[in-house]
Amino acid sequence: MTDLIKVYKINSMTNSDLQTLISSWNSELEFSEAESQFLNITVKPEHLHELLSQLKSNTETSFDYLFCLTGMDWGTDLGVVYHLESTTHRHQLVVKVKTSDRENPTFDSVCDIWSTAEFHEMEVFDYFGIKFNNHPNLKRLFMPKDWVGYPLRKDYVDEVNMIIK
């Protein structure tokens, strides 16, 4: 059974190899492996799209499967966490991006890189109010169209509907 697993993980790069390769593209990235089982990269919003397209197109990394796109409210900052995987090399990576602008947070959309991002970004907009540039169809997905407020933010208060326990 273990030989089968080795066959699946061809040319899988270790975290330190990935870190060496990716830091050669952009010097302003922060790498961390603390408190997580994957390698975490924190990138600035203006370099986000470029880094993610390079991660997909480079043949050694070839991260072509985005399996989780999560919106986060870190208390003071709002941000997005991307979980990436490569279907050929089977290594995994986490990319995070943050902004401290709570009135009008905006990032670049990655729909042109992975088509799955279209629905996920609509969900993040619905819950947190984060807007994405160049998104084909950014509107509310789960909440009714005329809902006011962004429910999953930490400072969301709803006296009418929520019964807090």
Partner 1 sequence: METTFEKNSFKSEEYFINMGPQHPATHGVLRLLLTIDGEIIKNVEPDLGYIHRSIEKMCERDSYQQIVHLTDRMDYLSAHINNEAVCLAVENALGLEVPERVKVIRTIIAELTRLASHQLWWGVMGMDVGALTTYFYGFRDREMINDIFEETCGARLTMNYNIPGGLMFDIHPNFVQRTKDFVAHFKTKLPEYDTLLTGNVIFQKRTKGVGILTKEDAISFGTSGPVARASGYSCDVRKLHPYSAYDRVNFNEALFTEGDTFARYRVRIQEMWESLAIIEQLIDNIPEGDYKTATNAVIKLPKGEFYQKVETARGELGVFIVSDGKKNPYRLKFRSPGFSNLSALKKMAVGSKLGDLVAMMATLDIVVPDIDR
Partner 2 sequence: MGIEQNATPKDFPGQIIPAGNGGNITITTLDKVINWGRSNSLWSLYFGTSCCAIEMMQTGAARHDYSRFGFEVARPSPRQADLIIIAGTIVNKMAPVLRRLYDQMAEPKYVIAMGACAISGGPFYYNTYSVVKGADHVIPVDVYVPGCPPRPEALLEGMMMLQEKIRTESLKHKVNPIDGFDQGL
Binding site for partner 2 (CB under 8 A): 143-144, 151, 156, 158, 161-165
Q: Which is nearer to partner 2, 34 or 163 (CB)?
A: 163
User: For the sheet containing 30-32, what is the strand order?
Assistant: 30-32, 40-43, 92-99, 78-85, 65-73
| Shortest Cβ 156–partner 2 spacing (Å) | 8
Residues between 79 and 98 with contacts to partner 1, criterion CB under 8 A: 81, 83, 87, 90, 94
Whichever of 68 and 162 has its CB closer to partner 2, that residue is 162
Asked if 76 touches partner 1 (CB under 8 A), the answer is no
List, as own/partner pairs, every contact residues 7-12 make where C-beta atoms lie below 8 angstroms and the sequence separation is at least 24, other chains included: 8/90, 9/89, 9/90, 9/91, 10/88, 10/89, 10/90, 11/60, 11/88, 11/89, 12/89, 12/90, 12/91
64 sits near partner 1 (criterion: CB under 8 A): yes
Distance separating alpha carbons of residues 124 and 132, to the nearest angstrom: 10
Is residue 70 within the footprint of partner 1 (CB under 8 A)?
Answer: yes
Among 3, 6, 27, 36, binds partner 1 (CB under 8 A): 36
**Which residues contribute to the site for partner 1 (CB under 8 A)?**
1-2, 4-5, 8, 34-38, 64-68, 70, 72-73, 81, 83, 87, 90, 94, 114-116, 118-120, 123, 141-144, 151-152, 164-165
